[in-house]
């Protein structure tokens, strides 16, 4: 409400004060503003005046001879006829407790004497404006009550529509997660009461939806989801529930099943139906789905657990090759819990130095001499014992710990090699080979991190070899080339790990500043006495020769493999034939023992 309007609110104001001068001054001031003013010099007179004709507002002194202001206010507030009259206290009392008491008995404001006229005018106007607003609100409320009554039926219809929207997916019209959870709860309750009332949950995750969405656009992606929904509906009974969780994830609740074969039959029919193309906006689109199945059993108490297990099963189906179904079993839940526990414990392991570096010898194949080690991390768990990297490295990559873990392994390996060199246990050409993960290659400051480790450990950069997997290099080859060039400028050796298992282009391989190709152990294992079973090994060795690179064969386990590799002119190798990865103490003992000469043919 604006200021000009406040000035025209007509009001009857009662001033209660036992000081005549205050009465006179306040009366003159308020009268000049156009207000009707009445006066009372004590509490009794004030109560009489109010009962005779209730004023619009009361300015009330506290300290008066007969009845003080607190009592007058309490009396008026306890009377329904006068309870709504705003009372502003005027007092020389400036203590906080006095003010608190004034507000407790019902005062709306408190002005301390000596007062300023402008302050009193402003507060009076504010309270009168508030009272006027309350009066208007009361009138409006009465009018609104009538309108609300008129629109009650309209709102009931709207609420019903909103409920429908709240329970269904706006794109496909299918039930949503909320509706599904209610239905799952009902199915659980029925199954508890009747063990014959069995049901199953199918979790569907489309395998190629993102490709369609990214290549053909979101509109086509939406059309695909709608068409997929309609096709799935034709495969189900009327009582079954098809719901969309979001994105390309769907849930099917089969409310009544008699055996698991019934569920797998439906799963197969879904896979078959979705293998057929969709005609969308002039495009023929193919898509398949992975299905996770959770069958009801008496141990289920919570609908969320059914979804959780079906979700675990769908991830298993994807891991097994996609476009298939997988039925959840309890071992999967145990595995998921175990993975979660390992995640938590891995954080702790890095902080509490439970990780150790093991070393596998890299050997000159025609002499048996050890020329370097590959550094491999192990986890010395306090209760599980020694944990292999296959169990925790994928977890570290998934939760982002692979970067600090990789830095730690690099630092420890460089420090250990420098310690051996200072002790004259290895010569100046001896090297240590450390793996870099794909995540580490994405770090903008990777070169600076390695420089810092070299500086801290004082290792000769030429004695450090960094190994990168073929697939990691090809994720972003241009960036990888720049990073590797900087390493090469520092004298660091570079190699491709697991060569032949990725998808590198030979044209790109030529541009990578590499020193070594490492033949993956999967190729080495195929080697036997028959020259026809050498696979890609001769080709990889020839590629390395053309590109003027060294070759290391990993996974050598038999004398036959060693002989064949020597015949192919492979210079270096590693594997269980020579030694498993061992701790630092055992590793340096192997260097001095030179125990493999008898293996050389």
- Domains of the chain, CATH where assigned: 3-137 (3.40.50.2300), 177-328 (3.30.70.270), 349-599 (3.20.20.450)
Higher pLDDT residue, 319 or 432?
432
Q: What percent of the chain has pLDDT over 70?
A: 95
CA distances from 280 to 59, 78, 224, 407, 530 (A): 78, 75, 7, 49, 54
Among 487, 540, 491, CA closest to 512: 487
Cα–Cα distance between 130 and 143 in angstroms, integer? Answer: 20
pLDDT at residue number 92: 87
What is the tens place of the pLDDT at every residue in 103-152? 999 999 999 888 888 989 999 999 999 988 888 898 888 888 888 888 88
Q: Model's pTM, two decimal places?
A: 0.56
98 exposure class (CB count in 10 Å sphere: 0-12, 13-18, 19+): middle
Check whether 47 has a pLDDT greater than 80.
yes
pLDDT at residue number 6: 44
Give mean pLDDT, residues 179-188. Answer: 92
CA distances from 495 to 247, 479, 557 (A): 41, 16, 22
Dump the DSSP string for 484-515.
Answer: HHHHHHTT-EEEEEEETSS---HHHHHHS--S
Give mean pLDDT, residues 181-189. Answer: 92
Check whether 532 has a pLDDT greater than 80.
no
For 452-492, the three-class secondary structure string (H helix, E strand, C coil) is HHHHHHCCCHHHEEEEEEHHHHHHCHHHHHHHHHHHHHCCC
Cα–Cα distance between 197 and 195 in angstroms, integer? Answer: 5
Q: What CA dihedral angle connects 91, 97, 100 and 105, to 10 degrees?
A: -70
Give mean pLDDT, residues 341-352. Answer: 83
548: left (phi over 0), alpha (psi -120 to 50) or beta: left
455 exposure class (CB count in 10 Å sphere: 0-12, 13-18, 19+): exposed
What is the tens place of the pLDDT at every residue in 552-579? 999 999 999 999 999 999 999 999 999 9
Give mean pLDDT, residues 65-88. Answer: 93
Check whether 383 has a pLDDT greater than 90.
no
Q: For residue 332, which phi and psi values (nearest 5 degrees)?
A: -65, -40
CA 494 to chain centroid = 35
Cα–Cα distance between 524 and 536 in angstroms, integer? Answer: 9
Q: Quick count: other Cβ atoms within 10 Å of Cβ 125?
A: 18
């Amino acid at each position: 409400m604006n200021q000009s309007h406040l000035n025209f609110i007509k009001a009857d104001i009662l001033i209660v004060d036992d000081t005549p001068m205050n009465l006179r001054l306040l009366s003159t001031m308020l009268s000049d503003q156009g207000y009707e003013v009445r006066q009372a010099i004590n509490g009794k007179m004030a109560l009489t005046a109010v009962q005779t004709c209730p004023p619009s507002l009361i300015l009330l002194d506290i300290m008066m001879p007969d009845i003080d202001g607190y009592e007058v206010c309490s009396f008026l507030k306890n009377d329904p006829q006068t309870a709504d009259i705003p009372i502003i206290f005027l007092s020389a009392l400036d203590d906080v407790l006095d003010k608190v008491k004034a507000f407790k008995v019902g005062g709306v404001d408190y002005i301390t004497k000596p007062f300023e006229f402008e302050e009193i005018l402003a507060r009076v106007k504010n309270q009168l404006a508030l009272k006027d607003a309350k009066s208007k609100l009361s009138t409006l409320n009465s009018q609104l009550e009538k309108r609300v009554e008129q629109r009650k039926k309209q709102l009931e219809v709207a609420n019903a529509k909103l409920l429908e929207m709240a329970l269904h997916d706006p794109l496909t019209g299918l039930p949503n997660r909320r509706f599904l959870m209610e239905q799952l709860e009902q199915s659980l309750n029925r199954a508890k009461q009747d063990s014959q009332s069995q049901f199953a949950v199918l979790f569907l995750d489309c395998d190629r939806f993102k490709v369609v969405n990214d290549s053909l656009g979101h509109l086509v992606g939406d059309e695909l989801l709608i068409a997929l929904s309609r096709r799935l509906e034709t495969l189900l009974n009327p009582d079954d529930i098809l719901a969309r969780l979001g994105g390309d994830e769907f849930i099917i609740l089969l409310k009544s099943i008699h055996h698991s074969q019934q569920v797998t039959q439906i799963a197969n029919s879904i896979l078959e139906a979705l293998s057929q193309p969709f005609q969308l906006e002039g495009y023929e689109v193919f898509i398949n789905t992975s299905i996770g199945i959770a069958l009801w059993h008496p141990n289920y108490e919570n609908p969320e657990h059914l979804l959780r297990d079906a979700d675990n099963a769908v991830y298993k189906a994807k891991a097994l090759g996609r476009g298939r179904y997988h039925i959840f079993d309890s071992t999967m839940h145990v595995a998921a819990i175990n993975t979660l526990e390992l995640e938590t414990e891995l954080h702790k392991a890095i902080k509490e130095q439970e990780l150790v570096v093991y070393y596998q010898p890299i050997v000159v194949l025609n002499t048996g001499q050890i020329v370097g080690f590959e550094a491999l991390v192990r986890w010395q768990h306090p209760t599980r014992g020694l944990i292999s990297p296959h169990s925790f490295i994928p977890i570290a990559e998934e939760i982002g710990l692979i970067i600090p873990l990789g830095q730690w392994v690099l630092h420890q390996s460089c420090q250990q090699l420098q310690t051996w060199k200072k002790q004259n246990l290895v010569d100046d050409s001896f090297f240590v080979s450390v793996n870099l993960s794909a995540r580490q290659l994405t770090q903008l400051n990777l070169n600076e991190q390695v420089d810092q480790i070299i500086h801290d450990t004082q290792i000769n950069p030429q004695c450090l070899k960094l190994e990168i997997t073929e697939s990691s290099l090809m994720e972003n080859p241009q960036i990888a080339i720049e990073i590797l060039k900087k390493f090469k400028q520092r004298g660091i050796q570079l190699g491709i790990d697991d060569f032949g298992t990725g998808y590198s282009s030979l044209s790109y391989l030529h541009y990578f500043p590499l020193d070594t190709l490492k033949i993956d152990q999967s190729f080495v294992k195929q080697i036997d006495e028959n020259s026809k079973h050498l696979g890609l090994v001769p080709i990889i060795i020839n590629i390395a020769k053309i590109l003027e690179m060294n070759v290391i064969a990993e996974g050598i386990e038999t004398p036959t493999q060693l002989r064949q590799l020597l015949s192919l002119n492979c210079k270096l190798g590693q594997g269980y034939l020579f030694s498993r990865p061992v701790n630092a103490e055992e590793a340096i003992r192997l260097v001095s023992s030179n125990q493999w000469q008898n293996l050389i043919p």
